Every structure is written in structure tokens, then in C-alpha cells.
């Protein structure tokens, strides 16, 4: 089964996502160029990290107008699974596929280091392989990852089990020190109402090979693959 | 067609944390400036455009803001249009 | 005093093409104009000789840039010739955009270091950012995909707001640029000392990988081939940056005389990177070079010079950002993110298509000729016509007089006995030293850098050297930059040797075999005998060490005139070294791994506190004494021993002793792990003063940990390699005690305090007051 | 003492590359806006301060700019002072 990885001109995690997908049995990753207008026959879409258009103005603001984004929106609205990682998350928010916005880190500095995130829900196509409350060790690398939304929106995300990951300590506590960027409600990742669009700031694709450190990102890709194969056989 | 200078001022919405403003405020304090009550930091986008009149220039600028230049979730914008190629220096 | 070299004596010029007429509107050439271009009378005479006439204003600008220290190496070339540059694995030595070595399996590694010191002193953010941009272009113009960057930085003490401003701006600039392009930062160094107060140093190094057959050179060959300007448009930025980089800053470097700084655009760089690699693979071009220092001038003339051809180009065809730019400005602009490409004749459209895909421009601006001339036209009218080879290679080179400064000799010979006993409580001295910004964790810096993008980083910054894997193989590459300017100040030859030795030690600690070197010579004004002395001695020391370690120098950069108001920086010959791991899975980190592991010391503790961080930090900035002596043969044996231990998977950790000495090395290993700090129980039996044994910075030492079961085997292997090794103690419990006993004093403190001091020191220094731009240069 | 709103507009110096402006300009073009001649992006810093009069407020703001808010090497600044707590909306 094919999974598309979108390459915007300034994407720089596209190859990393490609590689992580390649490690999955039965998955064929394929790049799609931002100027393409169709996704083709793919089962899921990944919007990778990077600096899509230099992140000038606001991260993701210009990328959302890329020709390929119409196809991505259509795909998402039809229920297709879409994952936006880091810059991809920012693009999804700008495109209106996810609520809220990602603003500058509270420290005003780019933050690049491994963090702990707690899995808040396994009721998504992206987290079924994890356990609720499980704490993952995964790198972040962003300057604008501070999730912000109106209080009503946050309440809705909370009330509908749509917060997927929160920054936490190693033992799952939500302390201010464990929040690397000032995100509201410690949010590291959310899904849309239909639970088929995930946006997250940490980089699971950087945590899939033993040589490079912890492999806690694998579960996300495996969950997605399992979801897709289950869908394909039913 | 004449030329207009459109100044778009994009500022963080009230209530939204403005870490950059806070940092500048803090720095001003440490530099010994007293009486600084608040500091906000936003963006200034200066667009020169050809348009049929001030009204049209403003209308287009508003559309640009809504579409691209400002994010309504986090930012407010204000627009100033002047007919000159360069805004008057108000120093 | 200066003696122009004999070998570049008469360079008679072929003069078939007509000389240009003075361009209307250009200033007349007077003695003042010549002097303003930084050219000596003698150099101007030589120009007259080469041309056989008075240069036009444009030509004068071209000569001035090409014969600046930055491009012409007039005061350093003869010294550089002393460096070893050859080895069977060297594919490309000095002379190209970057050096290239064979790393096995048909793959080649391009790497180089480059300085951006004066621009960073004026505008730290943009100066550092464009420094990274420039070095990345040097790598991908060789046909290699950049895979890692490192940065080597020097600043004055952080007690000054201006230094904090420079430091934070530089770090942000290095980070923002590399992060956006998507190249992981895998290491570097920073050193704070008042000697860098007016002159921060920003050296950036980059590494790139390619298939050997994809190597492409910066040559303009093939008569009739088309020169194309590729990438960003040309503006008036940084005109005469190369000359500027070769002048002293002074308090009245005012607005008017200050050249415009260059602004970097990493997004365009990323596009240019992808487009260039695609272009090189496409076979439509024969040469490519960055328009770096001295812009179009140096790229076009150097490409012609290397190929032995000529070029003609028309400045009116160069895409510009501003109206009314003169040929002089277009030729000397240092606008960033531009390349000069030599396209095969008839392939221009293909080139343009590839650039278009990446939303960039490519415009034909001239062609390759066979007349050996660098000919510039403006709308068809000749404005400059210079023989290319004399322009690129005819810069006079000087060998100057070098005499050591008396005051340095006196400092070096100063008796340090009084400092051998602790100042106060030994543990307090230790914690203070550990909290020095020259010893404490650099996390504040590298957390602003993306270190894991490209999913290849095996060892991130924080240890001894960065390590990346080579995709598709079992191999890895390690890289490091090193130099202690204080040692080099006190004894430039020993200091340079120490820098090479430390770089190699850092590499072997990760399990990599040291393979090759790039270097950045940062010095003061070479016209001063005591500075020239430093340069010569440093190069000799570097040469000796590189020779012995079989790590040839494949390139580098020279940055001179780093002085403010007559005060020079420490001599700072930064060594960038790369190494290869055959099996990257064997790599070893610097952090202790498990309670109960056996801690060993390889190498000897000696009574050497000269030039130490301890003296500077605990004795009011004292810089004196003999720097640690380097025994190159012992270093070589140590390298072999460590590599053998790694090869046999016997090491749990390895960490080299450097600034702060053995005590700080133990501390860094104790708190370096992801899982929280581990206690330390160590006894030292040396009959040395406690300050010397704990904080002395003797070279040639490595702290390792091993499984207790393999202790005997490890000691035996060290003996076989002729390396002294002994057991120091054991790794203690998580959050346990940090305990180091010596016959005459003890360090005792909870390792959690060590942890806190080590990680909080730099953030605390940076959080104190605002970082203010005020200071000499901005005022 | 009265309260002033000081608006500092910090813009890239003419002639210097303005990558952000370039990117926005390009994006506006792709969105189909014609007649956009140039776009520059700068910073807007809004400081509320207590001062003895408009003149003093302006003088202090200028000093702040030179010291901290603008980098003279790469940026120009312009200052506008108004006596109200909030600048007049000029829409
Ligand atoms: N310190 C040095 N040691 C050895 N080679 C050097 C040194 N400095 C410069 N070189 C070599 O001289 C050549 C010209 O360098 P440089 O002028 O820095 O190139 P660029 O055009 O990139 O500025 C390069 O190949 C460089 O590697
Ligand atoms: Mg170069």
C-alpha cells in the first residue's frame, strides 16, 4: 500500500519520513511534489517537517496555498488518514484541517532535544499500538511549537478525547518544566473531529532505529499501517 | 492606476501571550527605563501596490490579510493606506 | 621588511584583447583611491606591470578583492605550504572549494571550515548565518550533499552585555540557518576569554557525502561554454567584504566606512542546494562555484585560473536586485545564495529548467574563452580586462619577520608554585571551575540547533565528537573542531600541536580513526612581528602533529587582522578533523553507563597548570605558565589503544580530559547520560599537588569505563600498546555521591549538585541581564 | 506624568535583502494579486509608557531604538507617539 510524503520546497524531513515508512512491511512510500495537483492512489498522507517556505511570515502560512494542498484537504475530508509532523502540523492548522495555531516557543529559542510525551488516547488510527498513559521519548526540533487555541476550542479538544499527546516528565507528570514550548494544556499533538487527521510537533520518524536512540516512534507508524491493512481487508 | 503604500500592522491578539513583547519589556527595564507600562511586538508589512484608488487598495489589503498576512486565531491586523510611494516620515 | 617572493616574479601578460577605456562616472585612480583599496604601493606597481597600463576603477576593485588576505593569502601562503597535504585517501587537497577524501565503498567526504569573524562582530546574527550558508555552498558545489555542520566560536567574557549579545546572536544565526536548510549540527566548540572581547570568532565547518564519481570541480573549461549566474539576485550587499575581512576594526569603524552586511536566506539556500545537486547529476554543466568572498570576481577568475582558460562576462546580464548598479558593484557584491555555473554550450535551457523547478533563476552572463583573460563588459563595452592567472595566483606573497613578544615569554616562564594549593575549599574550587562557561555544558547552545534531522546522527553534540552514520553502509563519520587559544598564546607551537592532538583524541574516543584535517587560522595583524611569529610557530606545530598522525590538511581558511585598537586575539588555529568508523554500531559515548563499572585512566597526570582554566577562573583571569606539553608519540600510542578497545567492544564510555582537567572530565562523564547522573568513587594516588592532579590540563589522557570483568583484558591491551593505564575507581549509584580522593585533599559532593552546576551555569549566565548590542562597534 | 503609546516601526534598511518580504511578495503573486510592486516585512513594537510630555516620550523612544530595539546596521526605525492609551484606529 502506498503512503504519500509531501515535499514542499523547504521540507527537510521528507526523506526521514520516507525512510521510517520504508521500514514497515507492506508499505511503499512515495513523494509528492508541492506543485502536484493529485495524490494519486495513496492510503495515507504525511506532511513532513522542515521550513516549507522558509517559514517566513508564519510557519505553514504560505505552504497551505501549495497546489497539492487542495488534494490533501479533499483526501482528509473524505476520511483519509493524514499526519502532519512539526512543520506539517503547522501547515494543517493554517489550512484549517486542525483547530488552533502554533506560535513561537515561550523561550523565544529554537528547541531541539528529546522530550517525553504521554499518550493520551489510543482511539486514533495513529496510536492503537500504544497504551494509554504510556510515556514516549521522542525528539523535538522547532521554534514555533507553542500550541494556542481559544478556551472553547481547548475545552472541546479535552471533552472529545482529541488531545493525542502531551508533554510530560519521564513518569508521566505534567509539570511546567516538562513543557518545552509553553503549549496550552501541554499539547504535543491533536486530532480533528473525525480523528483521521493528526498533527504533532515531536518527530516520531526520528525515533525508529536503535542505532540512533530510543525507538518509541515506531508505534505510530505501525498503528497507521495496521489501521490501513485492517481497512483494506474488511 | 496609481501607486499606494499599504502598511499592515499585525499584532498578537490581546490575551495571547506575547513572549517577545515580554522579553523586550524586561530588557528595557534592565536598561533602566522606568515607566514602561507594556510592550507588544508585532509585524509590519509594507506593500506597495498599484490600484484604482485608495478604497480598492484598502479592500485588497484586507483580503490579503484575511487570506495570508494574519492568522485570525492569534493575530489582529490594522491597515493604513497612503497615496505616496513612501510614507511620510513622522520623526 | 617584507620580501616579495621570487617565484611569482615577472608574470608577463598576453595582451591580445583591447584595454578598456575608463568608464564614465567612475572615480579617477589616484594614490588615495589605491590606498583605500588596501593595496600597497608595491602591489600597485605589480598591477601596473601586469596590465602595462593604469587599471580602470573596476579593475582596481577586482585586484583589491583578489589580492586581499582573504582571497590572496599574501601573508599566509608560504606558511601554508609547510602543511602536509597528501595521503592515499586524499582525493582533493587544498585549492578547491573543499577538500575531499575517500571514505570507502565508493563514497567520498567533502569537508571544510570557513571563518566569518568581522561580519559577526558587526551583526552577529547575520554574520554567523551567512557563515554557515557559505560553507554549505562550498560543500555542495563539490557535488556532495551536506550531512553535518559544526561551529567553532570565541567570545569575550559573558559578564559583558555586549558579549552576551554577540554570543546569543551568533548561536541563533548558526542555528536558524542550519535548521532551516535541514543539516544537523553535530558539534563545535566555544571558548570565552577577554582576548576575544572586540573580536569574536565564528568559524563554521561542514561535511558532505557523495559518490566518488559525482565529484565536480570549480573549473571554467571548454571554450564557448556558457557562464550562468544562478540563484539569488545580486544586490549591493557586503561590497568589499573580502577586503573588509582583511582590515583591523577600530573604534571609528563608523557607519560610512562600514560595508553593508549580507543578509542570509536559508530557504533560498535549501533550494539552491537541491537545484545544484540535481544540476551536477544532470550532466549539463562542467563546473560550478559559490560566489562567496569577492563574489562574481573571485568565482569567475578562480574558475578561469584553475582551468587555464579565460572568461568574458557582461555585468548588464547579471540579474540584480537594485537598479543602477555599476560593474564595480556587481563584480564585488557578496550577496548570498548565488552560484556561478559553467553550462555546456547549448544546454542553457536545461539548466534553466532545473533551476526553475526550484523557483530559482539562471541567466547566461558570459562564456569561456581561450585567451587567458578575465574580461568584463557592460552592455558590450569592455570595463575590465585582466590576465586571469596573474590575478588569481599573482598576488605577492610575503614572508615576514617573526619575533616572540617579550611579555609572552615572561608570562610563560612565570613560576606558578603559589597556585598549586587550593584557593579555598577544594570542592568549592571544583564546583566553581565546573561552572565556568569554558567547562560547563553547552546544552544552551546546541539545543538551539537541530541535531537529529536527516536521521543519521549517532552521537549528538555534548560528547567528544559528533558521529553520523553513512546511509546504506555500516560506516560512520566523526567530526570535531578544537583549539585552545590560551595555550597557543603562551606557546603557539605547542598550542597548535595540542589542538591537533585533542581533535584526534576526541575522534578516537568515539571509535573513529582520525583521517584528515581542515583548519582555520585566526590571528591578528601579520605585519606585526610577534603575530607573524605566532602564525609561523602554529603552522609548524600543526604540520608536525598532522604529519605524525597521518591526518593530511585538505584545506582551510585564513582570517587575519583580528585586532581592535591594536589588541590582537589569541592566536587561534582551529583544527577541524574528520575520522571514519568502519562499524558505526561500535561507537562509544562519553557518559558513564552503569553503576559498578570500572573507571580507568589512560595516560599520565603531570604537574601542569600553565594556561589552565583553573588559573583563569579562580585567579582573576591569570593566563601564564607553560601550556601542557604534547608528546605526539605517546598520543599516537594512546589513539591506537583506544581504537583497539573500541574495536573489541570493551568500552562502556570514553572521554578525553581537556579544560578543567581530570576532575571535570569525571564530572562530565558522571552527568552526561540520558538516564540521570551517576555517582563516582575515585582514588588518585599521584604524588602531585591536588590542584595539579584534579584541575591540571595535561594532554594525552582519556577516562574510560569498562565492565569489571574485562578490567584485566583492558589493562593488558593498554600495556601492549605502550599506554599507561590504571584503575581509578568505580561508577557509583544513580544520584549518589561524587567522591574523588587524593593524598592531599578530597572532592565530595552529591552528584546531583554536580549535575546542576554543570547544566545550569551557562543558562544562568545568559539569563542575568539583557544582552545589549551597545559597545564600541555599534556606538 | 501622562501615558503615551509609542509605536516603533523597524524595517530592513533599503538595499538589504529582505527574505521575508521576498517570500510574502512571491506568495501574494501566486495567490493571484497583481500590481504588487514590492513588499517589505519589519517589526512593530508598541510601547506604552509614562512620560512628562510627548517630547520626552519621543526622546526616550529614540534612545531605546538606538540601544536595543533596532540594529542600526541592518534596520531603520520610525517612531510615532500618541497621547492616547491606544493608538487611533485609522481604518
Ligand atoms: N589554513 C589553510 N590551510 C590549508 N589550506 C588552506 C588554508 N586556508 C585556505 N586554504 C585553501 O586555500 C584555498 C582557497 O581558500 P578560500 O579562499 O578560503 O576559498 P573560498 O573561495 O571558499 O573563500 C582553499 O582550497 C582552501 O582550502
Ligand atoms: Mg570557499
Q: State whether C383 and C420 are in the same domain.
A: no
pLDDT in tens, C389-425: 999 988 889 999 999 999 999 999 999 999 999 888 9
C-alpha cell at position A134: 504510556
pLDDT above 90 for B76: yes
Residue C737 DSSP SS3: strand
Check which CATH number belongs to the domain holding C661 and give it: 3.90.650.10
How far is it, in rounded angstroms, from Cα C331 to Cα C353? Answer: 26
For C315-351, b/e burial (b = at least 16 CB within 10 A) is bebbebbeeebbbbbbbbbbbbbbbbbbbbeebbebb
pLDDT at res. C518:
98
Residue at B91 is within a domain: no
| B-C Cβ pairs (cutoff 8 Å, strict) | 7
Q: Specify the higher pLDDT residue, D73 or A90.
A: A90
What is the tally of structural domains in chain A?
1
Chain A interface disruption, residue of B8, B68, B72, B75, most A CBs within 10 A: B68
Q: How far is D55 from chain B (nearest CA, A)?
A: 11
pLDDT at res. D19:
94
CA C572 to chain centre: 10
Q: State whether C290 and C420 are in the same domain.
A: no
pLDDT at res. D67:
87
Q: Please name the member of B9, B39, B45 whose beta carbon is closest to the beta carbon of D39.
A: B45
Strands (E), C512-552: 513-522
Q: State whether C420 and C340 are in the same domain.
A: no
For helices C661-671 and C751-767, angle between their N-to-C axes, nearest 10 degrees: 100
pLDDT band with cut points at 50, 70 and 90 for residue C776: very low
Which of these, C569, C502, C445, C566, lies nearest to C196 by C-alpha position? C569
* Residue D45 to residue B41, Cβ atoms within 8 A: yes
Q: Please name the member of D24, D30, D31 whose beta carbon is closest to the beta carbon of A56.
A: D24
Q: Please name the member of B34, B36, B58 whose beta carbon is closest to the beta carbon of D47.
A: B36
A62 contacts chain D (CB < 8 A): yes
CA dihedral C606, C666, C476, C675 (to 10 degrees): 180
Mean of the pLDDT values across residues A19-38?
97
pLDDT at res. C246:
53
Q: If 0-12 CB within 10 Å is exposed, 13-18 middle and 19+ buried, where does residue B77 land?
A: buried
CA of residue A8 to ligand 2 center, whole Å: 29
How far is it, in rounded angstroms, from Cα C777 to Cα C198? Answer: 8
Tell whether the torsion through CA atoms of C713, C719, C722 and C726 is positive or negative.
positive
Strands (E), C379-512: 381-387, 398-399, 457-459, 466-469, 476-482
Give the residue whose CA is nearest to atom 23 of ligand 1: C293
Q: State whether C288 and C347 are in the same domain.
A: yes
pLDDT at res. C262:
87
C-alpha cell at position C392: 588569481
Residue at B90 is within a domain: no
D17 vs C contacts (CB less than 8 Å): 232, 235, 237, 262-263, 265, 321, 335-336
D42 contacts chain B (CB < 8 A): yes
Enclosing H/E stretch for C210: strand C201-211
Q: State whether C626 and C760 are in the same domain.
A: yes
How far is it, in rounded angstroms, from Cα A32 to Cα A14? Answer: 10
How far is it, in rounded angstroms, from Cα A202 to Cα A219? Answer: 14
pLDDT in tens, C495-530: 999 999 999 999 999 999 999 999 999 999 999 999
Please list every protein residue whose CB sits less than 6 Å from any atom of ligand 1: C 71, 80, 83, 94-97, 138, 292-293, 298, 519, 521, 553, 555-558
Give the residue whose CA is nearest to atom 20 of ligand 1: C97
R_g of chain B, CA atoms, integer Å: 16
CA of residue C138 to ligand 2 center, whole Å: 5
Residue at D16 is within a domain: yes
Q: State whether C621 and C737 are in the same domain.
A: yes
Share of chain C above pLDDT 70, in %: 94
Contact by Cβ (8 Å): D17, C237: yes
Residue C22 has what DSSP assignment? P
How many Cα atoms within 13 Å fall on the side-chain side of residue C670?
35
pLDDT above 80 for C259: no
Q: Specify the higher pLDDT residue, C22 or A73.
A: A73
**Interface chains of chain B (3 or more CB pairs under 8 Å):** A, C, D
pLDDT at res. D15:
82
pLDDT above 70 for C455: yes
pLDDT above 60 for C5: no
C255 vs D contacts (CB less than 8 Å): 72
pLDDT above 50 for C289: yes
Q: Which residue has the cell 581533535?
A: C503
pLDDT band with cut points at 50, 70 and 90 for residue D91: very low
Q: Specify the higher pLDDT residue, C69 or C175.
A: C175
Q: State whether C294 and C420 are in the same domain.
A: no
What number of other Cβ atoms are within 10 A of residue C623's Cβ? 24
Indicate which atom in ligand 1 lies nearest the CA of residue C85: 4
How far is it, in rounded angstroms, from Cα A132 to Cα C745? Answer: 52
pLDDT at res. C772:
66
pLDDT at res. C555:
96
CA of residue C682 to ligand 2 center, whole Å: 48
What is the tally of structural domains in chain C?
2
C-alpha cell at position C642: 583506544
Q: State whether C318 and C378 are in the same domain.
A: yes
Residue D48 DSSP SS3: strand
pLDDT above 70 for D87: no
Mean of the pLDDT values across residues B10-21?
89
Which of these, C396, C451, C578, C555, lies nearest to C174 by C-alpha position? C451
pLDDT above 90 for A155: yes
B46 contacts chain D (CB < 8 A): yes
How far is it, in rounded angstroms, from Cα C335 to Cα C681? Answer: 56
Question: What average pLDDT is seen over chain D?
Answer: 89
Strands (E), C442-491: 457-459, 466-469, 476-482
Contact by Cβ (8 Å): C96, C552: no
pLDDT at res. B84:
67
Contact by Cβ (8 Å): A41, A2: yes
For helices C492-510 and C632-647, angle between their N-to-C axes, nearest 10 degrees: 10
Give the residue whose CA is nearest to atom 7 of ligand 1: C556
For helices C266-282 and C348-357, angle between their N-to-C axes, nearest 10 degrees: 140
Q: State whether C420 and C342 are in the same domain.
A: no
User: Which chain C residue has its CA at the smallest distance from B23's CA?
Assistant: C770
Residue at C175 is within a domain: no
pLDDT band with cut points at 50, 70 and 90 for residue C249: low
* Residue D31 to residue B68, Cβ atoms within 8 A: yes
- Note down the domain range covering A201: 2-232
Residues of C involved in catalysis: 70, 116
Q: State whether C272 and C420 are in the same domain.
A: no
What is the tally of structural domains in chain D?
1
pLDDT at res. A225:
97
pLDDT band with cut points at 50, 70 and 90 for residue C260: low
Residue at B44 is within a domain: yes
Q: Please name the member of A65, A100, A104 whose beta carbon is closest to the beta carbon of B20.
A: A104
pLDDT at res. C734:
98
Contact by Cβ (8 Å): D41, D18: yes
pLDDT above 90 for C255: no
Check which CATH number belongs to the domain holding A228 and give it: 3.40.50.880
Residue at D58 is within a domain: yes
pLDDT band with cut points at 50, 70 and 90 for residue C240: low
How far is it, in rounded angstroms, from Cα C154 to Cα C191? Answer: 5
How far is it, in rounded angstroms, from Cα C54 to Cα C386? Answer: 12
Mean of the pLDDT values across residues C176-202?
97
Residue at B28 is within a domain: yes
* Residue B90 to residue D79, Cβ atoms within 8 A: yes
A139 contacts chain C (CB < 8 A): yes
- Note down the domain range covering C673: 416-424+589-768
Check which CATH number belongs to the domain holding B40 and give it: 3.30.1280.10
- Note down the domain range covering B52: 2-83
Share of chain C above pLDDT 90, in %: 85
pLDDT in tens, A112-151: 999 999 999 999 999 999 999 999 999 999 999 999 999 9
* Residue C265 to residue D71, Cβ atoms within 8 A: no
Count H helices, E strands: chain A? Answer: 5, 11
Mean of the pLDDT values across residues C325-339?
93
Enclosing H/E stretch for C74: none
Residue at D18 is within a domain: yes
C-alpha cell at position C198: 572586540
Which of these, D51, D4, D43, D47, lies nearest to D21 by C-alpha position? D43
Q: State whether C225 and C351 are in the same domain.
A: yes
For B63-75, b/e burial (b = at least 16 CB within 10 A) is ebbeebbbbebbb
Q: Which residue has the cell 529614540?
A: D62
pLDDT above 60 for C774: no
Question: What average pLDDT is seen over chain C?
Answer: 93
Residue at B54 is within a domain: yes
Chain A interface disruption, residue of D24, D28, D43, most A CBs within 10 A: D24
Amino acid at each position: 500500500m502506498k503512503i504519500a510524503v509531501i515535499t514542499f520546497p523547504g521540507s527537510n524531513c521528507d526523506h526521514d519520513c520516507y525512510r521510517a515508512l520504508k521500514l514497515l512491511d507492506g508499505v511503499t512510500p512515495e513523494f509528492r511534489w508541492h506543485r502536484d495537483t493529485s495524490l494519486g492512489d495513496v492510503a495515507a498522507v504525511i506532511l513532513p517537517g522542515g521550513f516549507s517556505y522558509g517559514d517566513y511570515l508564519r510557519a505553514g502560512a504560505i505552504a497551505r496555498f501549495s497546489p497539492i494542498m487542495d488534494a490533501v484537504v479533499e483526501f482528509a475530508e473524505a476520511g483519509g488518514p493524514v499526519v502532519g509532523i512539526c512543520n506539517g502540523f503547522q501547515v494543517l492548522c493554517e489550512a484549517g484541517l486542525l483547530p488552533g495555531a502554533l506560535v513561537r516557543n515561550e523561550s523565544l529559542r529554537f528547541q531541539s532535544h528529546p522530550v517525553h510525551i504521554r499518550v493520551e488516547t489510543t482511539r486514533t488510527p495513529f496510536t492503537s499500538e500504544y497504551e494509554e498513559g504510556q510515556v514516549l521519548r521522542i525528539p523535538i526540533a522547532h521554534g514555533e511549537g507553542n500550541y494556542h487555541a481559544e478556551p472553547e476550542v481547548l475545552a472541546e479538544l479535552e471533552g472529545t478525547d482529541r488531545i493525542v499527546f502531551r508533554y510530560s516528565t519521564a513518569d508521566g507528570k505534567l509539570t511546567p518544566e516538562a513543557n518545552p514550548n509553553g503549549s496550552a494544556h501541554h499539547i504535543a499533538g491533536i486530532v480533528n473531529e473525525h480523528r483521521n487527521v493528526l498533527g504533532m510537533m515531536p518527530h516520531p520518524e526520528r525515533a525508529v532505529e536503535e542505532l540512533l536512540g530510543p525507538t518509541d516512534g515506531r508505534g505510530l507508524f505501525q498503528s497507521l499501517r495496521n489501521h490501513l491493512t485492517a481497512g483494506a481487508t474488511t | 492606476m496609481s501607486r499606494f503604500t499599504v502598511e499592515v500592522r499585525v499584532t498578537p491578539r490581546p490575551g495571547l501571550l506575547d513572549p517577545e513583547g515580554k522579553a523586550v519589556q524586561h530588557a528595557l527595564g534592565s536598561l533602566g527605563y522606568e515607566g514602561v507600562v507594556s510592550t507588544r511586538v508585532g509585524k509590519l508589512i509594507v506593500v506597495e501596490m498599484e490600484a484604482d484608488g485608495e478604497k480598492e487598495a484598502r479592500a485588497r489589503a484586507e483580503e490579503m490579510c484575511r487570506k495570508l498576512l494574519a492568522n485570525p486565531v492569534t493575530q489582529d491586523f490594522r491597515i493604513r493606506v497612503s497615496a505616496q510611494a513612501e510614507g511620510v516620515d513622522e520623526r | 621588511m617584507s620580501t616579495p617572493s621570487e617565484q611569482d616574479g615577472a608574470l608577463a601578460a598576453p595582451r591580445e584583447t583591447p584595454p578598456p577605456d575608463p568608464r564614465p562616472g567612475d572615480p579617477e585612480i589616484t594614490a588615495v583611491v589605491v590606498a583605500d583599496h588596501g593595496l600597497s604601493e608595491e602591489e600597485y606597481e605589480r598591477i601596473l606591470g601586469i596590465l602595462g597600463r593604469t587599471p580602470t576603477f573596476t579593475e582596481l576593485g577586482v585586484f583589491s578583492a583578489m589580492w586581499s588576505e582573504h582571497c590572496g593569502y599574501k601573508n599566509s601562503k608560504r606558511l601554508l605550504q609547510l602543511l602536509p597535504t597528501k595521503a592515499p585517501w586524499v582525493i582533493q587537497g587544498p585549492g578547491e572549494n573543499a577538500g575531499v577524501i575517500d571514505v570507502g565503498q565508493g563514497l567520498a567526504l567533502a569537508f571544510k571550515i570557513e571563518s566569518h569573524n568581522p561580519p559577526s562582530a558587526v551583526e552577529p546574527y547575520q554574520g554567523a548565518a551567512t557563515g554557515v550558508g557559505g560553507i554549505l555552498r562550498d560543500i555542495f558545489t563539490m557535488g556532495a550533499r551536506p550531512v553535518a555542520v559544526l561551529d567553532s566560536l570565541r567570545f569575550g567574557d559573558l559578564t559583558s552585555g555586549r558579549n552576551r549579545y554577540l554570543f546569543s546572536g551568533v548561536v541563533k544565526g548558526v542555528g536558524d540557518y542550519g535548521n532551516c536548510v535541514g543539516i544537523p549540527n553535530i558539534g563545535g566548540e566555544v571558548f570565552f576569554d577577554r582576548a576575544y572581547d572586540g573580536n569574536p570568532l565564528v568559524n563554521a565547518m561542514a561535511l558532505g557525502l557523495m559518490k566518488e564519481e559525482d565529484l565536480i570541480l570549480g573549473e571554467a573549461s571548454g571554450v564557448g561554454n556558457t557562464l550562468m549566474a544562478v540563484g539569488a539576485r545580486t544586490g549591493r550587499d557586503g561590497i568589499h567584504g573580502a577586503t573588509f575581512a582583511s582590515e583591523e576594526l577600530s573604534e571609528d569603524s563608523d557607519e560610512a566606512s562600514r560595508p553593508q552586511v549580507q543578509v542570509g536566506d536559508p530557504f533560498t539556500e535549501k533550494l539552491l542546494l537541491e537545484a545544484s545537486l540535481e544540476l551536477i547529476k544532470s550532466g549539463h554543466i562542467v563546473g560550478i562555484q559559490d560566489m562567496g568572498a569577492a563574489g562574481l570576481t573571485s568565482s569567475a577568475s578562480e574558475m578561469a585560473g584553475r582551468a587555464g582558460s579565460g572568461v568574458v562576462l557582461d555585468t548588464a546580464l547579471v540579474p540584480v536586485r537594485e537598479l543602477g548598479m555599476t560593474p564595480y558593484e556587481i563584480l564585488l557584491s557578496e550577496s548570498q545564495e548565488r552560484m556561478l555555473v559553467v553550462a555546456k554550450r547549448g544546454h542553457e535551457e536545461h539548466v534553466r529548467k532545473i533551476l526553475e523547478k526550484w523557483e530559482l533563476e539562471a541567466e547566461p552572463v558570459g562564456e569561456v574563452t581561450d585567451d587567458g583573460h578575465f574580461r568584463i563588459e557592460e552592455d558590450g563595452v569592455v570595463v575590465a580586462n585582466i590576465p586571469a592567472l596573474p590575478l588569481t595566483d599573482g598576488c605577492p606573497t610575503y614572508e615576514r619577520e617573526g619575533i616572540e613578544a617579550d611579555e609572552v615569554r615572561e608570562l610563560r616562564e612565570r613560576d606558578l608554585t603559589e597556585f598549586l594549593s587550593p584557593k579555598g575549599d577544594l570542592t568549592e574550587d571544583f564546583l566553581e571551575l565546573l561552572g565556568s562557561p569554558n567547562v560547563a555544558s553547552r546544552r544552551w547552545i546546541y539545543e538551539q540547533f537541530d541535531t537529529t534531522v536527516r536521521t543519521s546522527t549517532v552521537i549528538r553534540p555534548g560528547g567528544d565528537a559528533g558521529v553520523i552514520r553513512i546511509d546504506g553502509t555500516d560506516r560512520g563519520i566523526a567530526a570535531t573542531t578544537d583549539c585552545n587559544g590560551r595555550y597557543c598564546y603562551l606557546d603557539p607551537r605547542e598550542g597548535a600541536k595540542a589542538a591537533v592532538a585533542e581533535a584526534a583524541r576526541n575522534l578516537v574516543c568515539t571509535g573513529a580513526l582520525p583521517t584528515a584535517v581542515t583548519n582555520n587560522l585566526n590571528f591578528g595583524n601579520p605585519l606585526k612581528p610577534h603575530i607573524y611569529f605566532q602564525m609561523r610557530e602554529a603552522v609548524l606545530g600543526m604540520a608536525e602533529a598532522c604529519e605524525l598522525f597521518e591526518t593530511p590538511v585538505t584545506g582551510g581558511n585564513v582570517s587575519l587582522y583580528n585586532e581592535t585598537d591594536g589588541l590582537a586575539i589569541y592566536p587561534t588555529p582551529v583544527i577541524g578533523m574528520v575520522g571514519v568508523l568502519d562499524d558505526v554500531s561500535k561507537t562509544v559515548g562519553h557518559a558513564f553507563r552503569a553503576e559498578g563499572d570500572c573507571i580507568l585512566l589512560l595516560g599520565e597526570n603531570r604537574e601542569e597548570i600553565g594556561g589552565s582554566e583553573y588559573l583563569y577562573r579562580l585567579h582573576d583571569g591569570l593566563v601564564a605558565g607553560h601550556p601542557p606539553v604534547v608528546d605526539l608519540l605517546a598520543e599516537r600510542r594512546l589513539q591506537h589503544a583506544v581504537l583497539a578497545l573500541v574495536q573489541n567492544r570493551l568500552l562502556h564510555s570514553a572521554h578525553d580530559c581537556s579544560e578543567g582537567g581530570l576532575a571535570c572530565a569525571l564530572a562530565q562523564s558522571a552527568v552526561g547520560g540520558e538516564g540521570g547522573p551517576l555517582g563516582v568513587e575515585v582514588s588518585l594516588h599521584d604524588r602531585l599537588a591536588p590542584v595539579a592532579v584534579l584541575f591540571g590540563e595535561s594532554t594525552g589522557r582519556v577516562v574510560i569505563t569498562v565492565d569489571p570483568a574485562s578490567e584485566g583484558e583492558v589493562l593488558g591491551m593498554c600495556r601492549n600498546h605502550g599506554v599507561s593505564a590504571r584503575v581509578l575507581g568505580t561508577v557509583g549509584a544513580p544520584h549518589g555521591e561524587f567522591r574523588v580522593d587524593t593524598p592531599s585533599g578530597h572532592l565530595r559532593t552529591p552528584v546531583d549538585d554536580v549535575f546542576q552546576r554543570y547544566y545550569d551555569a551557562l543558562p544562568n549566565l545568559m539569563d542575568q541581564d539583557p544582552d545589549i548590542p551597545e559597545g564600541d562597534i555599534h556606538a
